A and B are shown apart, each in its own frame.
Chain A
Amino acid sequence: MPQPVARVLAALRRYVGRWGLYLALIALPAYYGIHDLTHGYQAGFVAGHAVVRKDLTQLGFNMFEGLSNGAIWALIAMGYTLVYGIIELINFAHGDVFMIGSFTAAGLWGTLGLGLATGPVGLVAGLLLTLFVCMAVCGSLNVLIERVGYRPLRNAPKLAPLITAVGFSFILQNVGLLWLGGSPQGVNDLIRENNTVLHISGVVIHRADVLALGVMIPLVMALTWFIGNTRPGRAMRATAQDPEAARLMGINVNNTISLTFLLGGMLAGAAGLVYALYETTVWYFQGFEAGLIAFTAAVMGGIGNVRGAVLGGLIIGCIQELTDSRLGPQWTEAVVFAYLILVMVLRPRGLLGEETREAG
């Protein structure tokens, strides 16, 4: 192909890539917004007749639910993105570590005797304790997996640790299967998640939404501060850029990688607790689905990029909520994966740009 033609094609590709992705992201809410305005939606029953309203309240409600749901995906996606940034591995077992976090939380409430009758002080203290335990359990589990499974394969071909990760994912799923059985288990609705906190022009905000965002935002702030301003955080960034050079500068690369897995696991543990409170059911298979959704989020934001993971998580949460409530939850998985393939085709480096060694 002659040089100018190729250059034009490449430019076109970049242009279509970026705007095509934006267009694909806006398509769903725009379609349903226009649909609500023109055709209206059923807002409830008054005296046996369906009330049809034509405004954007339902869309707003979907989007807000999506944001709070996306907060959970964002917490998991950060684990994917941190690990990918530092050792370029899709940690398939990460979603299942999150599942173990949910199970730990559910089990611990039983042990502590937290129930619907517990008073507010006991509840807050109990939940904080559970949060710390979940984060500790998942963090150490993640470090353990890295130590046993990935470290011996550090210099092996790239497929080897990936396959090991898939293996660990299956092992953890079976642990969950033996732990709580094969069907979804209800847990106590400790925070009465559907209680309304406030209305904003018709959009109802539930307690669960406040909880999800209230756990996610401080953790993200703490993480960005840690990575940006502390010595171990600098070591993480240096290792992500160039492990060999980092080692020559006196950074203990193995410990830094372990630290990354610890942080990722802790975030997954927090997400596990929030998920159990938010959905009030836990299931051994939840980790697999959540893991894939969160990975999609991480790629959408730009893998290796912590802010990108948060943004991607929130966007994926909205997409998921829209499909859940409009198309039906049985289609959600397919829609999310279709978006994953779209991102891969249109803009593999993600919305905010990836931060990996290959990207430079």
Chain B
Amino acid sequence: MSELMAQLGEWRDALIARREAVTRRVPWWPRGLALTLIAFGIVLPFFFTQSSGFMGATIVALAYVVMALGLNVVVGFAGLLDLGYVAFYALGAYCMGWFGSDFFFNSRIHVVVSPLTSHVIGIHFNFILILVCAVVITALAGMIIGLPTLRLRSDYIAIVTLAFGEIIGVLAVNGQSIHIGTGEALTNGNNGISALDLPYFPGIGSFNLLQLRPWYWLIFAIMLVVLFVNLRLRDSRLGRAWVALREDEVAAVSMGIPLVRTKLMAYAIGATFGGMSGAFLGAFNTTVNADQFKFSFSIFVLAMIIVGGLGSIWGAVLGALLLSYINYYIIPDVLNTLPKDFGLNFSLTQLSFGIFGFLLVLVMILRPQGLFPERRRRLELTAAIAAEDAQLVEVAE
């Protein structure tokens, strides 16, 4: 007994010492800044009217932040270029469509839904449950797409993921002609599954589209959770394994990192965030339409994390906010008539993906580390230059 007490005491002392060491090492201001930002984020909607365009753009922007954080795990941490991220957006959105509307008209399943929808045909799950479904399905899909790419080199991975994304896109468009069960199609193609359930929470009630503040707080909460998970993942054993694989696969494997499991985890976790965001966006758009799931979407999200800085969490957040405000607020609402003012016969929204392509090229050539680079990557880039300089000096001497 006394042995046990002694052991417990030892552990307690170790814990206290560790906490002291941590608090001594970490300065107070990042935590203060984070708290201020979170508080600012919570009160932000009170500065705008309930249904302002800016509020809508902000909600979509936060959903893209979640998406970018997910892609950042795959591309930024693990270094696996994924050009088919739209697949997970599609699957997440279809989870919302399948499990939160009257689309499967032969079934009548209701789990914690608002009184209004509790007698409607179709499958109706609570929004949280739909999020869970989206997480499970996209994680599985992520592993399935991960499997054939395990042995491939980096650029082949890009093309296989692209192919996977396109296949999902084609299935979404042609899903009307794929029948499951009696008379129920897989998707509603380009007509879209519409009249989706609005998120409902017992005690709070149903959301509606005229009052955007609850939507904002919901996606803000999801974003905070994902952000926290991402920050912890980065510093975890798994996160370090990803970075090691990214930097040198052979060395990492010979150090005992399980290649298959680590890579599949990257795909699965990255896909999960995309699915959550997709389910939310499906609910917010109140329709799941096959023409939303285009290759250009994958590039849009990729551009976010590249502009922000590959592998950098804060870069992904800021890049996502920047590009989605550009796409959903500045281009359509502020600058759209600019070419007309110069006497040119097109609107800027037509060009938005050309603009993102241009941004990609520009960032890659002028500032390949992105606007807010990860510390480790910045060190790499400068260290490589230093080494080259040293070589040059040697040659000159």
Contact = CB atoms under 8 A, between A and B. Distances in A.
Given A292-B163, A340-B163, A330 B170 contact: yes
A337 interface: yes
B364 A348 contact: no
B268 interface: no
Given A152-B365, A164-B365, A340 B351 contact: no
Contacts of A159: 75, 79, 81, 154, 310
A296 B156 CA distance: 11
Interface stretch (B59-67, B128-136, B353-361): B353-361
Contact of A170 (B148, B149, B310, B360): B360
Contact of A344 (B148, B174, B295): B148
Given A159-B154, A160-B368, A173-B353, A167 B81 contact: no
B315 to A, nearest CB: 15
B157 to A, nearest CB: 9
B265 interface: no
Contacts of A340: 159-160, 163
Interface in A282-302: 288, 292, 295-296, 299
B155 A162 contact: yes
Contacts of A160: 364, 368
A191 B351 CA distance: 35
A341 B159 CA distance: 9
A248 B163 CA distance: 40
Nearest to A168: B361
Interface in B366-384: 368
Contacts of B167: 333-334, 337-338
Contacts of A149: 361, 364-365
Interface in A270-321: 288, 292, 295-296, 299
Contacts of A153: 364-365, 368
A341 B364 contact: no
B58 to A, nearest CB: 26
Interface string B131-169: 000000000000000001101111110111011101100
A173 B155 contact: no
A88 B154 CA distance: 11
A287 to B, nearest CB: 12
Contact of B162 (A161, A292, A334): A292
A166 B359 CA distance: 11
Contacts of A177: 350-351, 354
Given A163-B364, A167-B358, A167-B361, A178 B163 contact: no
A169 interface: yes
Contact of B359 (A167, A182, A345): A167
A358 B173 CA distance: 39
B113 interface: no
A78 to B, nearest CB: 17
Nearest to A171: B357
Contact of A178 (B83, B346, B361): B346
Contact of B166 (A174, A333, A348): A333
Given A334-B170, A345-B148, A156 B158 contact: no
B171 interface: yes
A344 B152 contact: yes
Greatest chain A CB density within 10 A among B173, B353, B357 is at B357
A132 B81 CA distance: 37
B296 A170 contact: yes
B360 A164 contact: yes
Nearest to B384: A155
B299 interface: yes
Contacts of B264: none
Nearest to B364: A164
Interface in B307-351: 310, 346, 350-351
A164 B75 CA distance: 15
B276 interface: no
A169 B310 CA distance: 21
A183 to B, nearest CB: 13
Contacts of B365: 148-149, 152-153, 164
B174 A174 contact: no
A338 to B, nearest CB: 7
B152 A164 contact: no
Nearest to B170: A334
A89 interface: yes
Nearest to B365: A152
Nearest to B310: A159
A160 B359 CA distance: 13
Contacts of B153: 358
A344 B145 CA distance: 12
A156 B368 CA distance: 9
B96 interface: no
18 contacts: A88-B155, A149-B364, A159-B79, A166-B302, A167-B358, A167-B360, A170-B296, A170-B354, A170-B360, A174-B350, A177-B350, A178-B346, A182-B350, A296-B163, A331-B170, A337-B163, A337-B166, A348-B151
Interface of B: 75, 79, 81, 83, 148-149, 151-156, 158-160, 162-164, 166-167, 170-171, 173-174, 295-296, 299, 302, 306, 310, 346, 350-351, 353-354, 356-361, 364-365, 368
A-B residue pairs, 10 tightest by C-beta: A170-B357, A174-B354, A167-B360, A337-B163, A167-B361, A334-B170, A167-B357, A171-B357, A345-B148, A164-B364
